[in-house]
Each structure stands twice: as C-alpha cells, then as structure tokens.
Amino acid sequence: MKTVSTQAPFEIIPLGGLGEIGMNLMVYGYEGKFLIVDCGLTFPNADTPGIDIIIPDTSFLAENRDNIVGFVLTHGHEDHIGAMPHIWPDLEGPIYGAAMTLELLKGKFKEHDLLGKATMVVMNNREKFQLGPFNICPIQVTHSIVDASALAITTPLGTIIHTGDFKIDHTPVDNRPTDLYTLAQYGESGVLALLSDSTNITRPGATTSEQEIAPVFAEYFPKAEGLLVVATFSSNIQRVQQIITAAAAVGRKVILNGRSMVNNVRVARELGYLDIPHETIIDIKQFKNHPRNKLALISTGSQGEPNSSLVRIAAGEHKEVVVQPGDMVVFSSKFIPGNERTIWTLINMLFRAGAEVVHEKNVPEIHVSGHAPQEDLKLMLALTKPKFFVPIHGEPRHLHRHRNLAIKMGVAKERAFVVENGNRVALDGETIQIIDQVHSGRVFVDGKGVGDLGDIVMRDRLHLSEDGMVVVVLVVEKTSGQVLQSPELLTRGVVYEDENQELLEEAKEAVERALELGAKAMDFREDEAAGAREISQRALRRFFKKRLGRRPVVIPLVMEM
C-alpha cells in the first residue's frame, strides 16, 4: 500500500530564468510562506529598442508580500541580483548573501537611495540559518565570480538543493573549490529534489580549470609590442587576478578601465579576494606618463556595448587612451549569443586601428566558462542522488536535454520534471505536478520608468524602427468637416523628403481624393475630425503599401477652424 505524505507540499514557483537565459528569480513555498532565491535582470535586444534593462514581473509576490520571509542571493552577477533595486522596495524582507555579493548589491542600492533601508546579512558556507519554515545551508561552488553558493533548503518534507550557477573546478585561482564533501553528505542523508544549472548542458566533457588560462597569458602578453589591453568581465575577479599577475610578470603597470571594473576590484581587494602589490595599479590619468610597452589596461566592454570604454578607445573617442599599431587587445571573455555582431564590429575597429586582436575564436583557450558542462552536471547528480530533478537556468532546449541526462543518471522519468516561468509546482514527496499558473512575465525599465511600457509600446517602437512614420496635418472647417487646404505631410524614416517631392505630392492627392469620396459616402456631422483622421490614415497606409511596399506608422493631426 502506497504511503501518503501528511506533510504540506513544497512549492516551486519560477518567475524568471526558466525557458530563457538570465533574469533568474525562483520562489520556494512551504506552509504559505515564500522564500525568494535570486532576483536578476536581462538586457534588451533588437526586439526591445530603447529599453535599459528587463526585470521579472513580480505581481504574484506583491500579492503575497506579507508571507515573504526573505531573499537569498547565490552570487553577484547581474542576472541574479540586478533587479533587486527595482523589486525589493515593493516586497522588502531581509537579504542574505555572501560578502562579495552583498557588497556589490550595496553599490546598486546606493545608486537608488536604498542603502541602509534593507537588512543585509552575510551568510557563510556550511553555516545554517532559518528563514520562516526554511532551514538554509550555503554550499561553496566555483563559478566565474567569487563567493558563489549553492543552497540546501530544508523543510519538514525534505531537502532540496538549488545549485545556482556553478562549475566544478578542482584547482581554482582562489583555492576555494566546489564543496563536494557537503554535497555528498546531503546526498547520503537524502535529497528530495535537485534544481541544477542547465546553461552548459550542450557542452561535453568536464570543466577546464581557470588556472589553465595562465599559460595562455604567459604566451601572448610578451608578444605585445605596444600597449596591452585585456577585456574581460569585471565580476570575474579570479580572471582579473591572473591578468594582473601575468602583466606584472612582463614588467607592466596595470590600469583599470570602466566604472564597474574599478568598483569590483576595489571591493574584492577590501575583502581580501585579490592579491595585488600596491604599486602595480596606477590611475588611468597617468597613462601618458608611462611608456606604452610598460602598461596593461584591464577593461570592461568585451561584448562591444555601444557606450563602453573599450568601444570609445577603439573609435578614438576616449579621453586618455588610443589604440595604435603594435598594440595588442586580448578578449578574455565569451562571445555571448546575441552579441556576436557587436563584438565583431568592435574587433574590426581595433584591427583598423592597427592592433593585433586575440579572442576565443582564434585562441579558444583564452577563456573558460563559469558554467558546468555535461560531466560536471553528472557529478552533481551522482553526489546528491536526488529523488526528484528539476532543471533550471536555461531555454527549453537546455532544460529538456538536462532532464534526459538526469534520467540517464538514474532519476525516474516521472520524477524528472521540466517547468517554465509562472508554473506553480507542488512536490509532496511522492509526486510532482503543476497545480496552478501564476502571473509572470517581463517588466521594462526605461530611464526612470519601471513597468510603464508594455508590449503595445514595444510593438510601436519596432514598427517605427522598421517602417518609419508619416504625419499628415489636415485643416478642416469645424461645422461642415470640409478640408480647407491641401494636407501637409511630414515623414521620418520612410523617404528623404527633399528627393521625393513628387511622391509626396501624389500621397497628398491620394488623401484629398479619399476625403472627397468619404464626404460623399459618410455623414461626419457628429464627429467630422474623427472621420477625417480615419480616412486620411487609411488612404496613406494604402498609398505607401502600394507604391513602396512599406507600412509606416501614420499619425493624422486634424486642426478644426
């Protein structure tokens, strides 16, 4: 006879990061209380013109704010903490994270005038703490940022392991490898469910150690005849340490370039995560006071972000630094999918300036990933031996492939479960099922506006960017609705007006004919202006579609006299 659990079910409610890369936000529920793990953002793409960042829709959490016991942050990357300044004020609650994570968060809270308003508690690996019904134990893991943690979350129903972003590097630069011992201990005690990072599921093999990059730097840095520029992610403190060590070994002073690079290095030094002789780093304003072949510049902007310092350097627009023939630029970073075009544009600019450029496409060993490939994911499954498995952090192709891997590793098919944002999943110890769908989605942050732009506005922006805009100005007689003068047309992004006057005159004639026919066929007495707007809009849409094959946004302005 099957035993039915009398314990309350454990709930898994992803609001971001499942079915997509980035914007990670996981909610865990037990006995009506909710724990929030991570609160990240994602960056805009071609489909979201003008948007600064995108954050998860937390309407569900706002409706349950009185039952939120707190936030726990696995590490300090933007896709895990970047939304906190926008979301925390509406939800509040204590914030737990490792020392580096909280220091990075404090910088964000300071920018939003939130510093001092939130209770932030430093969590230490293997030191358990209680938040409502959740007993939480941080577990040290390696990633491309220091102070990354997996979480063992225990309730009376059992323990779930939330890996966060991780890899298994046995020889990390900071000598703080993934805590396989603690993971194995939980595996022996019994893990109810494993929720594991799926980002690199398509990559075979095991993790390449971060230390494997050191010989590559040692090979290429001496080849730089002039200035040495190394672009990397400012949060990758271990990589920064290796760059500084390798640069010092060839007799170069180091300059930090980019606000986040300067801030992150400062925080890491204060916390003891960087070992840098004081005289090694100099201010960028001292650039001209040193020979170029004695300087190394560590810069942000490895993804070719339009306003980044590295792009301004490549374009010759930086106040202090310019690239010249004989310089070497090293991209110690990944070509993030979706950024390839901007990165290649930046690389081409650097080549035009005469620099030699090293990147992962011509020297693959120049970067190692922070996410677990297949063999690491197998080891996580083997150590924890979960009863249930839920893949997290990935698009559908990642999640389903990770599920298949878990099944091969011995998890029963019916207990390996793919979920996506908004699914409300109940785990009762014997079964796992979706019991509800909560509100989820994306919120656009544009300037000071948060959530005031929706899909309709995005559609209009895309329409404007693709087909342009036509404004038609009509002057009509108030009582009769008769057009008193020829329409005026103003176009943007459709045609160049000075060279297309004949076409625009034809467009005006098309509007006039349509208005004449409309006046005969319809009675505008009740709302003449509205009738004129509708007819002129329809006429111009037809005209430009027929003549140019374009569908510009048509905005009619009617002035009544």
Tell me: the pLDDT tens digits for 118-166? Answer: 999 999 999 999 999 999 999 999 999 999 999 999 999 999 999 999 9
Tokens found for residue 467: 């087909």
Cα dihedral 178, 181, 186, 191, rounded to 10, equals: 50
Q: Does residue 497 carry a pLDDT above 70? A: yes
The reported pLDDT for the residue numbered 492 is: 80
Q: Please spell the DSSP secondary structure of 148-190, one letter per residue.
A: EEEEEEEETTEEEEE--S-B--SS-TTS----HHHHHHHHHH-
Lowest mean pLDDT among 77-86, 276-285, 454-463: 454-463
| Domain spans in the chain, listed from the N-terminal domain onward | 10-205+369-450, 210-361, 468-560
What local confidence, expressed as pLDDT, does residue 468 receive? 81
266 token code pair: 């400062």
HEC readout, 317-344? CCCCCCCCCCCEEEECCCCCCCCHHHHH
In angstroms, what CA-CA distances link 218 with 170, 210, 244, 323, 330?
A: 22, 14, 11, 22, 12
Average pLDDT of the segment spanning 294-322: 90
Residue 526 scores a pLDDT above 60:
no
Distances (CA, A) of 67 to 61, 90, 135, 173: 9, 13, 16, 41
Catalytic residue among 75, 143, 318, 371: 371
* 539 CB-near residues (< 8 Å, 6+ apart): 510, 511, 513, 514, 515
Query: 519 or 17: whose pLDDT is higher?
Result: 17
Q: Is 197 a catalytic residue?
A: yes
- Does pLDDT of 464 surpass 90? no
User: Is the model's pLDDT at 433 over the cut of 90?
Assistant: yes
What does the pLDDT read at residue 510?
81
* DSSP annotation string for 185-218: HHHHH--SEEEEE-TTTTS-S-PPPGGGHHHHHH
What's the average model confidence in pLDDT over 31-44?
A: 93
371 is catalytic: yes
Residue 147 — left, alpha, or beta (φ > 0 → left; ψ -120 to 50 → alpha)?
left
Give the pLDDT confidence score for residue 1 in this predicted structure: 40
Q: What's the DSSP call for residue 435? A: E
- State the pLDDT at residue 451: 55
Quickly list DSSP for 235-282: T-HHHHHHHHHHHHHTT-EEEEESHHHHHHHHHHHHTT-----GGGEE
Least confident of 38-52, 88-102, 213-227: 38-52
Assign 413 a pLDDT band (cuts: 50, 70, 90). very high
CB count in 10 Å sphere of residue 525: 10
The CATH number of 210-361 is which of 3.40.250.10, 3.20.80.10, 3.30.465.10, 3.40.50.10710?
3.40.50.10710
Q: How far apart are CA 237 and CA 239, in angstroms?
A: 5
3 pLDDT band, cuts 50/70/90, is very low
Q: Which two tokens stand for residue 177?
A: 């490898």
pLDDT at 23: 94
- Mean pLDDT of the region 466-485: 71
- Is the pLDDT at 91 greater than 80? The verdict is yes
Instruction: Quote the percentage of the chain above a pLDDT of 90.
Output: 69
Q: Which of 128-132, 298-302, 464-468, 486-490 comes out lowest in average pLDDT?
A: 464-468
Among left, alpha and beta (phi > 0; psi -120 to 50; other), residue 429 is left
Quote the CA–CA distance of 413 and 267 in Å, as a whole number: 45
Question: What value does the mean pLDDT take over residues 451-462?
Answer: 62
Angle at the Cα of 285 from the Cα atoms of 283 and 287, rounded to 5 degrees: 85
**Strand partners of residue 450:** 445
Spatial separation of the C-alpha atoms in residues 9 and 431, rounded to whole Å:
10
Residue-wise pLDDT for 180-220, tens only, equals 999 999 999 999 999 999 999 999 999 999 999 999 999 99
Mean pLDDT of all residues in the chain? 89
Instruction: Indicate the range of 420-424, 527-531, 533-537 predicted with least confidence.
Output: 527-531
Element (H, E) at 79: helix 78-81
CATH class of the region 10-205+369-450: alpha beta
Q: What is the pLDDT of residue 543?
A: 85
Classified as helix, coil or strand, 543 is helix
Q: What is the pLDDT of residue 390?
A: 98
**Range from 88-102, 308-322, 475-489 that averages highest in pLDDT:** 88-102
pLDDT at 542 over 90: no
Q: What is the pLDDT of residue 308?
A: 85
Residue 109 exposure: Cα atoms within 13 Å on the Cβ side:
20
User: So what's the pLDDT on residue 46?
Assistant: 60
DSSP summary character for residue 42:
B
The torsion angles phi and psi of 394, rounded to 5 degrees, stand at: 170, 165
Catalytic residue among 57, 147, 169, 197: 197
Contacts for 344 with CB less than 8 Å, ≥ 6 apart = 304
- Please state which CATH number belongs to domain 468-560: 3.10.20.580
Q: What is the pTM of this model?
A: 0.83
Q: Which helix (H) or strand (E) holds 347?
A: helix 340-352
Contacts of 23 (CB under 8 A, 6+ apart): 16, 17, 40, 41, 42, 54, 55, 56, 79, 83, 442
289/291 Cα distance (integer angstroms): 7
Say yes or no to pLDDT of 361 above 50: yes
